[in-house]
Structure 1
């Protein structure tokens, strides 16, 4: 995928911030309805569209979960290492787990524990690691590799294999990275749809039309849900509200659709009421990391030289 027009730095950074803030917003909104069915959500909330916390984790309003926290870990590792360093990513994950986070998926926990005990940087291939835990956190890799698809594919799979070594997870991570690159370079929703249809042709497991209606942590269900709501709506709010009201693994589907929609619509497209409710420390850190990662993307830096 190659975009014809190269936007200026300000436009790219604005979309990068939209993606990272959008991910956190989607996580915070979706965590309330995680593990609920659409019927249960309708009965309890009508339409869930306010960041109120609660949910099965009893969150505070604006609090985020492992989706955002693990993404921040990768962003910090790149910044602190001044480049890609898989061991630094693993160390960030290890320190995060040792801090007793509010939530951590079982496959992620197993991979991180293997690193802590054995310094293992690659989990064994497994049909049981086709969850969405590697996909949900890959955003910083996409920001840092903007302009270099080879680095994107390499790094995004390396971070995935710390915990999830599965071809479906790998394919999703690489393609979401490419979609983010396109969106940050100014691609429209209709242009992203063309790329997505080509991807689905090559990887029919991810076919989302007609939408199967599942939103579990299985990476195929997650990707189908994200594609369905991203391409059947025309605003950030409608996209995210539709997704989290589907329930299931709603913090992760919310985070991922918020990430892509944020890259498409930018920070200005995110409702102000949600921005105000997001944990201010999280907002500040993802905002700063977004700008740092884009500004230090080796491919973009080489264009300046």
Structure 2
């Protein structure tokens, strides 16, 4: 698909705004919900990330974006194994790695395959009885960039689910990543917000539940703080991010609302930024924010834009 100027701006926005939300929320992580009058600023992160530095949320998205920029197929087992291998290398020196993610990556000795990673994720899930953390959703945004052509929804859903299950086995992760990526794809293509459009790709027995969860988060007047309790769970993080978007009028307001929600602020803001950026575009990210943005692996906002442009130039779609 050849993107026009507005679509390309929205594609870049889906990555840039996510990184901005991540870095903006970093210093407020694990903190309480904040009032709507509380000024939100960049600061030193809870885990020591620098001013404007993104955290694990964006760092884990980078190998996915690299693969797309290199015209690699996200349905290829070798590509997925390489993404997981990059996560494994990153985790050895990262300032913060999610509990579920670390538990899986520590079991993997290189070289390993996609099947090895999935088996490790399944084993950790069986051992703990759960694996529904938000670590899959926080990194999922770039997946949509590989499936913007007409008729690629099924491939997108498969890729999002397989990448989620490299570390997070639970079905909620698969569904949340599919729905969020389909919404990002739709927003990049049309400029419109429609999370319910992806419900047809969710299995019938789970569809009504997700429709209710989306409706709850979309209710006028809701706020991410209404979903703060347990927003380390992928479902609550999904709802918190959606409520930030649905009840805000622009990109900056969306990200600030996501941070004001409290608890897992960087992750909720990163997730919200993926979709809000796809709606409003990179042109709505304040220049002073972009100037501050940086992070693993030694990238800045200009590098994110370059990588998205490269991905957009490629024929990404499988099949």
Superposition TM-score, scaled by structure 2 size: 0.82
Q: 1:50 — aligned with what?
A: 41
1:74–1:92 CA contact under 8 A, matched in 2: no
When residues 284 and 273 of structure 1 are mapped into structure 2, their CA distance, relative to the original with a 3 A threshold, is closer
Q: 2:310 — aligned with what?
A: 292
Q: 1:220, 1:77 → 2: CA distance? A: 27
Deviation at 1:78, TM superposition (A): 4.0
Deviation at 1:222, TM superposition (A): 0.4
Q: 1:236, 1:47 → 2: CA distance? A: 17
Q: 1:114, 1:13 → 2: CA distance? A: 39
Q: 1:3 — aligned with what?
A: none
User: Relative to structure 2, which stretch is displaced further, 108-117 or 241-250?
Assistant: 108-117
1:112–1:162 CA contact under 8 A, matched in 2: no
Unaligned runs of 5+ in 1: 1-5
Q: 1:182 — aligned with what?
A: 186
Deviation at 1:121, TM superposition (A): 2.1
Q: 2:232, 2:246 → 1: CA distance? A: 20
Aligned partner of residue 13 in structure 2, secondary structure: helix
Q: 1:91 — aligned with what?
A: 85
Unaligned runs of 5+ in 2: none
Cα deviation, 1:222-278, whole Å, max 9, x if unaligned, reads: 011111110111100111111101111111101011111111000111222212221
Asked if 1:74 is matched to 2:64, the reply is yes
Determine which of 96, 99, 108 is the counterpart of 1:115.
Answer: 108
Q: 2:199, 2:190 → 1: CA distance? A: 19
Cα deviation, 1:82-127, whole Å, max 9, x if unaligned, reads: 33311111111112113x1111101011121222378322011555
Deviation at 1:290, TM superposition (A): 1.2
1:12–1:184 CA contact under 8 A, matched in 2: yes
When residues 248 and 196 of structure 1 are mapped into structure 2, their CA distance, relative to the original with a 3 A threshold, is farther
1:81–1:88 CA contact under 8 A, matched in 2: no
Aligned partner of residue 243 in structure 1, secondary structure: helix
Determine which of 17, 20, 24 is the counterpart of 1:29.
Answer: 24
2:71–2:315 CA contact under 8 A, matched in 1: no
When residues 194 and 187 of structure 1 are mapped into structure 2, their CA distance, relative to the original with a 3 A threshold, is farther
Determine which of 166, 171, 178 is the counterpart of 1:167.
Answer: 171
Q: 2:198, 2:250 → 1: CA distance? A: 19
Determine which of 276, 283, 300 is the counterpart of 1:261.
Answer: 276
Aligned partner of residue 132 in structure 1, secondary structure: coil
Deviation at 1:81, TM superposition (A): 6.9
When residues 59 and 48 of structure 1 are mapped into structure 2, their CA distance, relative to the original with a 3 A threshold, is farther
Q: 1:138, 1:194 → 2: CA distance? A: 18
When residues 209 and 145 of structure 1 are mapped into structure 2, their CA distance, relative to the original with a 3 A threshold, is closer
Deviation at 1:46, TM superposition (A): 5.8
Which residues in structure 2 correspond to 1:127-142 (within 5 Å)? 127-142=129-144
Determine which of 227, 244, 247 is the counterpart of 2:262.
Answer: 247
CA RMSD of aligned residues (A): 2.6
